[in-house]
Amino acid sequence: MTQTLPDTLNDPTLDDPWLARSRETVARIALAPQAETVGRVERVGDGIALVSGLPDACLSELLRFDGGRMGFALTLDSDSIGAVLLDDGEAIEAGSRVTGTGEVVRVPVGPGLLGRIVDPLGRPLDRDEPVKAEAQMPVERPAPAIIERDLVSEPMDTGILVVDALFAVGRGQRELIIGDRATGKTAIGVDTIINQKHTDVVCVYVAIGQRATAVRRVIEAVQQPWRPRMLRLCRRLGSGLPRIAVDRAFRGFHDRRIFPGSRPARAGRRRRSDQACRNPPRARAADPRATRPRGLSG
């Protein structure tokens, strides 16, 4: 015995908004043969994967590895790509498949990041709640020119007596802490962050190439309810995230760019030319992904 089901999807008498939107979505999807170039991991180690294939990959393009792991194209050679892994690379083996996403690495920006712990792609590590981003900005962006930056005119106390007594630290100023191993460089930085609890200073902690235990200690030190104006940008605990990846993510966050509304918009942003791609538009025109934004346009 067979039962005929009602044709709900195509019933025009049904006035359901979700159904109407779904019908439009389905109608927009072109069902045609799909052709895509794929890359193969030739070798992987130390958070870097050498990938063959993908002739139309762009510099800094986000790449998807098997298992949904992500990376980005750091170097483009004539027959291979040097890709930095942004996720745990232990499960990625030689021969596994890599596909291009057609997008560059972008991270969420905005005050919604305050109080959160995120990985280099802006994915939350502290809880399942997504980061409420004001916008998504490419990590690779030019730093503001000197003339565009605010003058350093306001002092900033670190709360460490010996530092405040000996050095004049201003807001927006860069300072470098140099020292031998295990001499307390991180402690100075973390103490300075904690001492800003009664100020409006926004603190960003970036863990680069540190041991998981050290990162965990810092998170426990700063993760208090009375320290809301603090962003923690951390590597995924226990993973061998390469130093350069975090460094690049940090470059995307630095200079107050996590708060795009706090400074005037800058004109004349750099546009990455097609020379940064291994296979410029002619070859890509035949690619079904060509309609998606490619390369840097930020």
Partner 1 sequence: MPREARVAAFIDGIATGLAKLPEGTRASLGADGASVRLTAARAVTPEEVEACRKALAAVLGHPVLLEVTVEPELIAGLELEAPHAVVRNSFRADLIRLKSGLVHHDTDAA
Binding mask 50-79 for partner 1 (x = CB under 8 A): --xxxxx-----------------------
CA-to-CA distance for 137 and 248, rounded, in angstroms?
Answer: 13
Q: CB-wise, 68 or 228, nearer to partner 1?
A: 68
178 binds partner 1 (CB under 8 A): no
Q: Which residues contact 10 (CB under 8 A, 6 or more apart)?
A: 23
123 binds partner 1 (CB under 8 A): no
279 binds partner 1 (CB under 8 A): yes
- Binding segment (CB under 8 A) for partner 1, from list 140-148, 181-189, 266-274, 282-290: 282-290
91 binds partner 1 (CB under 8 A): no
Question: Nearest 5°: phi and psi at 289?
Answer: -85, 0
Task: Find the distance separating the first CA and the last CA of the chain, reported in whole Å.
Answer: 60
Is the CB of residue 87 less than 8 Å from the CB of residue 71?
yes
Q: How many residues touch partner 1 (CB under 8 A)?
A: 27
Residue whose entry in the numeric block shows the structure tokens 């004049």: 168
CA-to-CA distance for 93 and 63, rounded, in angstroms?
Answer: 15
Q: CB-wise, 67 or 95, nearer to partner 1?
A: 95
Residue by residue, DSSP assigns 217-267 as HHHHHH--TT--SEEEE-PPTTS---HHHHHHHHHHHTTTTT-GGGSPPPS
Cα–Cα distances in Å, from 43 out to 18, 38, 74, 78, 154? 46, 16, 15, 17, 50
Q: Name which position in 11, 14, 20, 36 contacts partner 1 (CB under 8 A).
A: 36
Q: CB-wise, 219 or 283, nearer to partner 1?
A: 283
Q: CB-wise, 96 or 210, nearer to partner 1?
A: 96
Q: Name which position in 34, 153, 275, 291 contacts partner 1 (CB under 8 A).
A: 34
CA-to-CA distance for 188 and 176, rounded, in angstroms?
Answer: 11
Q: Name which position in 14, 16, 20, 22 contacts partner 1 (CB under 8 A).
A: 22
38 binds partner 1 (CB under 8 A): yes
Q: CB-wise, 13 or 25, nearer to partner 1?
A: 25
283 binds partner 1 (CB under 8 A): yes
Q: What angle do CA 153, 159, 164 make, to 5 degrees?
A: 60
Question: 3-state DSSP call for residue 1?
Answer: coil
Number of neighbouring beta carbons within 10 Å of residue 99: 17
Shortest Cβ 286–partner 1 spacing (Å): 5
Q: CB-wise, 2 or 34, nearer to partner 1?
A: 34
Distance of alpha carbon 128 from the chain centroid: 17
21 binds partner 1 (CB under 8 A): yes
29 binds partner 1 (CB under 8 A): yes
37 binds partner 1 (CB under 8 A): yes
Q: Which residues bind partner 1 (CB under 8 A)?
A: 18, 21-22, 25-26, 28-29, 31-40, 52-56, 279, 283, 286-288
